[in-house]
Chain A
Amino acid sequence: MAREVDEHDTPAEVDATFRTIRRVAVGYFAVFLAAVTGVPALSLTLGWWSDGRLIGGMSPAFVMAAFGLYVFFFLIGLAAATLSTAVEARMLGGPAEPEDGTGRDGSP
């Protein structure tokens, strides 16, 4: 099932892209981990995080666990996917060069 690789990807290109994508993924994961463990951590350490009232009668901790974190997951996922795809398109192949002689990024 592993397909033959197109000749346009060289090992050096793939290695550089792999390192960049790994850096992007680790960076986003660090932010994600801080947020997802930060919400329960704040509940354990700060009284107002569990006792305060934000929307209706919900505490900031409940608002984050019931709504906020899901919005955050979607946004961080969208940002990471967009950036990773852009990095791959820029560093590996991308669309074939147009006939007017301009390069992948539109430069001559």
Chain B
Amino acid sequence: MNLASAAVLAAVLALVAGVAIAMRPRGASTVDFYLAGQRVGVVTNAWAICGDYFSAASFLGVAAAVYVSGLDGVWYAVGFAAGFVPVLLFVAAPLRRFGEFSIPDFLGRRLRSEHVRLVAVGVVQLIILSYLVPQAVGSGITWQLLVGQGIGGLSPYATGVVVSTAAVAGLVACGGMRGTTWTQAVQFLLLLAALCWLATAVLGAGFDYGGAVADLSTEPLANPTAGDRGWELATEQNRLDGAATASFGEPGARYGRLGQFALIITLIMGTAGLPHVLNRYFTSPTGTAARMTTVWVLGLAGLFYALAVMLGTAARAQIPAAVPAHPWLQELTVDGVLRVPEHALPVLGRIYGGDAGLGVVAAGALVAVMSTIAGLLLAAAASWGHDVYERHINPRATQRQAVWAGRSTTMVVAFAAAGLALAMRPESLTGLLPSIVATMVTWAFALAGSALTPVFLLAIWWRGTTAAGATAGMASGAVLAVAMFVAGIRLADPGLGELLMTPTLVAAPVATAVTVLVSRRTAPPRELERLWLTLHGTAADRHAERLAQLTIRSLSRRPSRPGPDLAQR
């Protein structure tokens, strides 16, 4: 790493740390630590949700998936962006109106059951860990490319994993939800700026998007694989037509008929069950604000993923021609094709912006990782600290003790994720998966969409949902999803294997059916009418809006304080 990229990276990280420290919670209240006082505005919350959601999988992974698989990789972008439509339609407003600390807290109070709360904590922690590990892997890959050197005897990959995880855990423990909201908002804006700069540089250099897709589609798609004779390019077979080779602009490079739908449905269903994203809705002042926040997120997500897809295409089209002029590319490529597809955007940044350009993109990647890790750690802290410590371990805990329990949890979960990421070797998996980071995140989506989303939707929209039904639904969805993963990994069949690796298409209907069947045989909680009024009524929203209006009116009517000379007269 040279001085320019080091300076860019240091400036970005210093800005993020400064925001976290400046916006840290002033008191020791759990509402402040976990929910930022429930006063986060629509646009700020939309930026923060984007910072939370656009992880390494979105920044590095989507471009990498497009780079490796062409149109089949674009389905990742479609699925990630589409996931917020069901959130808007079914979840955002009622979730906020019920207004709890976390997803387990919501389910526990809605269904009046501590058992449901504890089962939900288990499922949420599993989802969080599945999501955290690929983020840590992404930070290791970025450090490896950007810095290339380890610290204290660690490899560059291990150093990236340890440094980023430890830094974010420290910021979250210090800043809580208030500091994290602002750092995530700033991180998203930095991330979008990095993507926009790269897109402008690529287009400004004369990149013809449509022409590139057409040119790439005229020849068979080939990617590097490590074999007995070292690295070599292997042509991808078309999964839709076994006799043909795959093409960049047509489906079939990675998924068969069922696999494409299974991936999209998995990503759509998964978003509505992601704890770190849904927790952000509790910070909105009203249900209507939560709904409008999601509209903003949809617009920003569309812009973000459209740019990521374009840049993945640009990397595929332009890197082969750039190898002669940039000798450093030779060790990263095989006949002009990158060995690690996640390097697509950083390499593009270095081609168009030199070392400073690499610094900008790498800083964007690290920022993406850090903001998502921050959201995940906060969600973990809320469910352990609030749902387990405050409710079961120390019900008489003071606010200060509860906040410290949350802070301690962030450190433990962060180091567990870093340990798992260190145990993985990304190079060994690149030949098996379109993008290791995007694929691993998809597993988290599959678990969320299979175990949490069906129960969550039923709890919001069906009065008959019971605690026993929800417990059975979550357990069956989670067990089936994990069993299908394991079977999919062991079974190398491209057809059935695709379905098994993205199990929501099967596991979510099973979880729904189990929840409904068990709920029909058990009794819903008492006080259902009152719960329903809170969940679907808008009285609290109107009350909050009137209070805000009164506050603004009283501030505008208050006479300005006379100056010292006027007061003396």
- CB contact between A2 and one of B74, B75, B109 (< 8 Å): that residue: B109
Known pairs A57-B213, A59-B213, A76-B85; list 19 more (Cβ under 8 Å). Answer: A2-B98, A5-B539, A11-B533, A14-B536, A22-B461, A32-B86, A36-B268, A37-B261, A40-B261, A50-B249, A57-B210, A58-B209, A65-B77, A69-B81, A73-B85, A80-B88, A81-B88, A81-B291, A85-B291
- Shortest A87–chain B CB gap in Å is 10
B292 within 8 Å of A (CB atoms)? yes
B532–A15 CB distance below 8 A: yes
Given contacts A25-B89, A78-B295, contact A6 B540 (CB under 8 A): yes
B534 within 8 Å of A (CB atoms)? yes
Interface residues of A in 77-104 (CB under 8 A from B): 77-78, 80-81, 84-85, 88, 92-94, 96
Nearest neighbor of B263 in chain A, beta-carbon distance: A40
A–B complex contacts, Cβ < 8 Å, 8 sampled: A13-B537, A43-B250, A55-B210, A77-B295, A81-B292, A85-B291, A85-B292, A93-B539
Interface residues of B in 278-334 (CB under 8 A from A): 288, 291-292, 294-295, 298-299, 301-303, 305-306, 309-310
Given contacts A6-B540, A69-B78, A70-B305, contact A57 B295 (CB under 8 A): no
A53–B105 CB distance below 8 A: no
B493 within 8 Å of A (CB atoms)? no
B197 within 8 Å of A (CB atoms)? no
Interface residues of A in 1-53 (CB under 8 A from B): 1-3, 5-9, 11, 13-15, 17-18, 21-22, 25, 28-29, 32, 36-37, 39-41, 43-44, 50-51, 53
- Cα–Cα, bound, A53→B218 (Å): 13
Given contacts A17-B536, A59-B249, contact A66 B295 (CB under 8 A): no
Q: Which residues of B contact A6 (CB under 8 A)?
A: 537, 539-540, 542-543
A21–B291 CB distance below 8 A: no
Q: Which residues of B contact A21 (CB under 8 A)?
A: 536
- CB contact between B74 and one of A1, A53, A66 (< 8 Å): that residue: A66
B260 within 8 Å of A (CB atoms)? yes
Interface size bracket, B side: 35 or more
Counting chain B CB atoms within 10 Å of each CB, which of A1, A61, A71, A76 scores highest?
A1
- Cα–Cα, bound, A94→B321 (Å): 62
B99 within 8 Å of A (CB atoms)? yes
- How would you classify the secondary structure of chain B's contact residues: helix, strand, loop or mixed? helix
A67–B306 CB distance below 8 A: yes
B536–A40 CB distance below 8 A: no
B219 within 8 Å of A (CB atoms)? no
Q: Which residues of A contact B (CB under 8 A)?
A: 1-3, 5-9, 11, 13-15, 17-18, 21-22, 25, 28-29, 32, 36-37, 39-41, 43-44, 50-51, 53, 55-59, 61-62, 65-67, 69-71, 73-74, 76-78, 80-81, 84-85, 88, 92-94, 96
B257 within 8 Å of A (CB atoms)? yes
- Shortest A84–chain B CB gap in Å is 7
- CB contact between A5 and one of B75, B249, B540 (< 8 Å): that residue: B540
B101–A1 CB distance below 8 A: yes
A57–B81 CB distance below 8 A: no
Q: Which residues of A contact B138 (CB under 8 A)?
A: none
A32–B213 CB distance below 8 A: no
B215 within 8 Å of A (CB atoms)? yes
- Cα–Cα, bound, A72→B563 (Å): 55
- Shortest B133–chain A CB gap in Å is 28
- Cα–Cα, bound, A73→B306 (Å): 13
A81–B532 CB distance below 8 A: no
- Shortest B215–chain A CB gap in Å is 7
B214–A56 CB distance below 8 A: yes
A71–B302 CB distance below 8 A: yes
B261–A32 CB distance below 8 A: no
- Cα–Cα, bound, A19→B277 (Å): 26
Given contacts A6-B540, A66-B309, A80-B89, contact A1 B210 (CB under 8 A): no
A73–B537 CB distance below 8 A: no
A9–B533 CB distance below 8 A: yes
- Shortest A33–chain B CB gap in Å is 8
- CB contact between A40 and one of B90, B251, B294 (< 8 Å): that residue: B251
- Shortest A45–chain B CB gap in Å is 10
- Shortest B528–chain A CB gap in Å is 10
Q: Which residues of A contact B249 (CB under 8 A)?
A: 50, 57-59, 61-62
Q: Which residues of A contact B88 (CB under 8 A)?
A: 77, 80-81
- Cα–Cα, bound, A53→B217 (Å): 11
Given contacts A36-B268, A69-B82, contact A44 B99 (CB under 8 A): no
B215–A57 CB distance below 8 A: yes
A61–B305 CB distance below 8 A: no
- Cα–Cα, bound, A6→B75 (Å): 45
B211 within 8 Å of A (CB atoms)? yes
Counting chain B CB atoms within 10 Å of each CB, which of A77, A88, A94 scores highest?
A77
- Cα–Cα, bound, A64→B477 (Å): 32
- Shortest A74–chain B CB gap in Å is 5
Nearest first, the 5 closest Cβ-Cβ pairs linking A and B are: A56-B210, A57-B214, A6-B539, A70-B302, A9-B537
Nearest neighbor of B386 in chain A, beta-carbon distance: A1
Interface residues of B in 515-548 (CB under 8 A from A): 529-534, 536-540, 542-543, 546
Q: Which residues of A contact B288 (CB under 8 A)?
A: 85, 88
B52 within 8 Å of A (CB atoms)? no
Nearest neighbor of A50 in chain B, beta-carbon distance: B250
- Shortest A22–chain B CB gap in Å is 6
B298–A1 CB distance below 8 A: no
